Amino acid sequence: MFERRRTRQIYVRDVAVGGGAPISVQSMTTTKTADVEGTLAQIYALAAAGADIVRCTCNEEEAAEGLAQIIPRSPVPIVADIHFQYRLALAAIEAGVDALRLNPGNIRKPDQIKAVAHEAKDRGLPIRIGVNAGSLDPDIAKRHGGATPEALVASAQRELAYFDEVGFEDVKISVKSSNVPVMIDAYRLLSETVDFPLHLGVTEAGPLPNGLIKSTVGIGTLLAEGIGDTIRFSLTADPVEEARAGRQLLETLGLRERKGLDLIACPSCGRAEVDVIKVANDAQAALADRNIPLQVAVMGCVVNGPGEAREADLGIAAGRGKGHLFVKGKVVRVVPEAEMVDALLREAELIMAEGIEARLAAADEGAEAEAERARDELLQIQGTDVNHASEKIEKIREIAE
């Protein structure tokens, strides 16, 4: 759908990053890494929510020891997050991690950086250069007038130079900021400067819903420009929400195959015969955790509903006391209003089991005709101008005269 920027390709265990590989979703555990069982439980929850790669902090010796026990049991590759102590990076490598993340803002001694890169090279492990505006090297910030896009990219380039001295090239890069325009410009500049795969994210995006909005704007803008090879939503929330959001963004942009529900709903109007918000929320709750990769529509009326949502795999439109269940725009049965959500759930499961064509063939005889009668009845009752726009227009014209 979008022309992807060409990058080198690296592997985080068996997950390809860059080089045209599918864009991967990442998240990070919030448990103490020394808590092996608690951390593994969160890793499995993240994997189930769509995370391809999970990062764990390695901030103490006990964390490195925990990683040694976690990695053999993890369903996804594990990246060790390293700050300040370069020896913990070496310990994480010894524990068997699949990749490292180094922050050049707080591991600054060239000999330490090169020692980690040399060991990673020997073990065949990639490193993410994780530049963060909040922990930028003060010297670089001073030189560039603050945490500007140019400063973030300069930090990454300096780290790359250290890696180059030991012949290490198995790299991906992030240049994160909590300021969305700065983040976008930094990644644009970086994409013009290097050909390494890029890890996208808005750092410290905050709690829902603002954090979700900021992350979606920043990451989505760059993905739409073909920039980015792996992504992470950094939310002040359960990290499962990060994985879900990342997966949903990629599916929405057509960059990953749909694996989850895509529920669409009309915003409601004067023609609606039900509380659309309640029905949509009930449908979302009933369908969300069933791993049903369908687009499902909830429409407030039968006049426009099936037609407007004809591209949806499945939908329900409310009539007067009844719901019109439709598949690919064709009404397949009419059900009591109280059973609309249950009917959606049953039909979704049947579509997954039998396929759309089979469900169209199994449509109730006369369902389309009954739906047409209901549409005509509603039009006779409500008219074609249910929101009375023509009356308002006439009054506007009178005022204007």
Please write the tens of the pLDDT for every residue from 78-120. 999 999 999 999 999 999 999 999 999 999 999 999 999 999 9
Q: Which residues have C-beta within 8 Å of that of residue 248, sequence separation ≥ 6? A: 260
pLDDT for 1:
58
Per the CB < 8 A criterion, the answer to whether 7 and 196 are in contact is yes
What is the tens place of the pLDDT at every residue in 327-369? 998 999 999 989 999 999 999 999 999 999 999 999 999 988 8
Cα separation, 333 vs 15, whole angstroms: 44
User: H-helix or E-strand containing 316?
Assistant: strand 314-318
Cα separation, 297 vs 347, whole angstroms: 13
pLDDT for 263:
92
Q: What is the mean pLDDT of residues 183-198?
A: 98
pLDDT for 388:
66
Cα separation, 269 vs 138, whole angstroms: 55
CA dihedral 307, 308, 311, 312 (to 10 degrees): -100
Exposure on the CB side of residue 102, measured as CA atoms within 13 A:
33
Q: What is the mean pLDDT of residues 221-237?
A: 97
What is the tens place of the pLDDT at every residue in 276-285? 899 999 999 9
Residue 101 is which amino acid? R
Strand-pair category, 24-28 with 230-232 = parallel
Per the CB < 8 A criterion, the answer to whether 106 and 85 are in contact is no
Identify the residue with better confidence: 198 or 377. Answer: 198
Q: Write the DSSP symbol of residue 169.
A: -
Strand-pair category, 330-336 with 322-327 = antiparallel
Q: Write the DSSP symbol of residue 235.
A: B
* CA distances from residue 210 to 96, 119, 202 in whole angstroms, order as listed: 37, 40, 12
Q: Please name each of the domains of the chain with its CATH number.
A: 9-252 (3.20.20.20), 262-382 (3.30.413.10)
Confidence class of residue 401 from pLDDT cuts 50, 70 and 90? confident
Per the CB < 8 A criterion, the answer to whether 163 and 118 are in contact is no
Can you name the residues that pair with 131 across neighbouring β-strands? 175
Cα separation, 104 vs 113, whole angstroms: 9
pLDDT for 309:
77
Terminal CA-to-CA distance of the chain, rounded, Å?
50
Strand-pair category, 15-18 with 24-28 = unpaired
CA dihedral 39, 44, 45, 46 (to 10 degrees): 90
**Mapping DSSP to helix (H, G, I), strand (E, B) and coil, where does residue 230 land?**
strand
| Average pLDDT in the chain | 93
Confidence class of residue 319 from pLDDT cuts 50, 70 and 90? confident
